[in-house]
Amino acid sequence: MTPEFELDDKVAKVLDAVYAAPSERATKQAQVKLRRALMTARGKMVYYGYAPKTRVGPLFVAVNDRGLVALDFGLSEQEFVARVAQRTKATLVRSDDETGEALQQVQEYLAGRRTTFDLPLDMSTMSEFQRRVLNIALKIPRGKVLTYGDVAKAIGKPQASRAVGQALGHNPVPIVIPCHRVLGADGSLHGYSAGGGLQTKAWLLQLEGAVLPKMSE
């Protein structure tokens, strides 16, 4: 059995207690413990799914009971699962049902049939600084751009442009949180860590009707 599908140890132990309970009363007590263990394990469960062919390549998403946890593209399924598992410390399970809505919305966006997203986001694995930065990115209107300096000023740290760039570079849900709408101080495109690099960043800006800036060397 692969690590993604191993049952949480606490749940397994409580199940054993249910099966071994010597009386009806003991069984009921064990069942109560099982429900508690399942509620705990649920918080550690992340579901993922993918679309094999999109404009940006194979597209992967991951969700939990709070919302969208991760989005990535241009990498393998194994790489995506390992990356999300390491960041969330959760068990990943493939589920088309759980991820269907997120995949559909992102594919519609990439195809030009959607202009906004209606997806809850789980930002609990991010630092407070990164959440502040990405919340500013979320507010940038479609077709508009800000600079790293603009974002730094918006969070009250005007000297933190480099740290802002790092926070955006580790955005776990690109496209949905539009870090591609943030440019260099001179208005040029700078590093984009998601699949396709600057070419993808430029394409997303064109898709949204933004005036395409020059690319940095």
113, containing H or E segment:
none
Q: Is residue 197 part of a domain?
A: yes
What would the two tokens of residue 154 be? 């918006």
Task: Round to whole Å and give the CA distance between 52 and 174.
Answer: 18
Of 137, 179, 194, 202, the active-site residue reads 179
The whole-number pLDDT of residue 194 equals: 72
60-78 pLDDT tens trace: 999 999 999 999 998 999 9
Specify whether 66 is located in the same domain as 94. Answer: yes
- Asked if the structure places residue 118 within a domain, the reply is no
Q: What is the CATH number of the domain that holds 84?
A: 3.30.160.70
Percent of all residues in the chain with a pLDDT value above 70, rounded to a whole number: 77
Closest to 204 in 3D by CA, of 133, 101, 115? 115
Range of the domain at 21: 3-42
Instruction: Assess contact for 103 and 72: CB atoms under 8 A.
Output: no
- Six token digits for residue 36: 């508690």
Q: Strands of 45-138 (E only): list them.
A: 45-51, 59-63, 68-73, 91-94
Same domain assignment for residues 132 and 203: yes
DSSP class of residue 141 equals P
Which residue has tokens 């009707």?
209
pLDDT level of residue 37 (50, 70, 90 thresholds): low
Residue 214: other Cβ atoms inside 10 A:
12
Whole-prediction pTM value? Answer: 0.77
Q: Is 17 within a domain?
A: yes
64: annotated active-site residue:
no
Ranges 164-173, 193-202, 207-216, most confident: 164-173
Claim to verify: residue 29 and residue 77 sit in the same structural domain: no
Structure tokens at 47: 């579901």
> Higher model confidence: residue 212 or residue 164?
164
Summary count for the chain: helices (H), strands (E): 8, 6
